Amino acid sequence: DVKVTQSSRYLVKRTGEKVFLECVQDMDHENMFWYRQDPGLGLRLIYFSYDVKMKEKGDIPEGYSVSREKKERFSLILESASTNQTSMYLCASSFGNSGNTIYFGEGSWLTVV
């Protein structure tokens, strides 16, 4: 089975702190994604990466950056956390192009106070 692991399930951070959310997948997938999920807004794509050191902005990249130094690991960085970044963050990965499934981690609940 594909496993996507998000190392932190629940975090509480202060406004202005730098926050790292880590994600690791074990299936050698090229594509990795970060989404945030908010009530009534569904899933919104923050960034995705289709190869090591490659990244593309999604729909809501402002206030976020990402790092993909190794194929299996994709990190989401909040340079200076703000209260409007309180949300559930979902990491996902997929293989290749059309037809292949996207697999999700369990999610990271971030509260910024």
Partner 1 sequence: AQSVTQLDSHVSVSEGTPVLLRCNYSSSYSPSLFWYVQHPNKGLQLLLKYTSAATLVKGINGFEAEFKKSETSFHLTKPSAHMSDAAEYFCVVRNFNKFYFGSGTKLNVKP
Residues forming contacts to partner 1 in the complex (CB under 8 A) are: 4, 31, 33, 40-43, 45, 48, 50, 90, 92, 94, 97-107, 109
User: In terms of CB distance, is 24 or 90 closer to partner 1?
Assistant: 90
Q: Partners of 25 in the beta sheet? A: 4
Q: Least distance from C-beta 80 to partner 1, angstroms?
A: 27
Q: Identify which of residues 39 and 84 has a Cβ nearer to partner 1 in the complex.
A: 39
| Nearest distance in Å: CB 3, partner 1 | 11
Strand extents, DSSP E, the chain:
4-6, 10-13, 19-21, 23-25, 31-38, 42-51, 54-57, 64-70, 73-78, 87-94, 102-104, 108-112
| Rounded to 5°, angle at Cα 6 from 33 and 100 | 40
DSSP state of 40: T
Q: For residues 17 and 102, which CB has a smaller minimum distance to partner 1 in the complex?
A: 102
Q: Which of residues 15 and 111 has its CB atom nearest to partner 1 in the complex?
A: 111
Q: Smallest distance from the beta carbon of 88 to partner 1, in angstroms? A: 8
Q: How far apart are CA 49 and CA 57, in angstroms?
A: 9
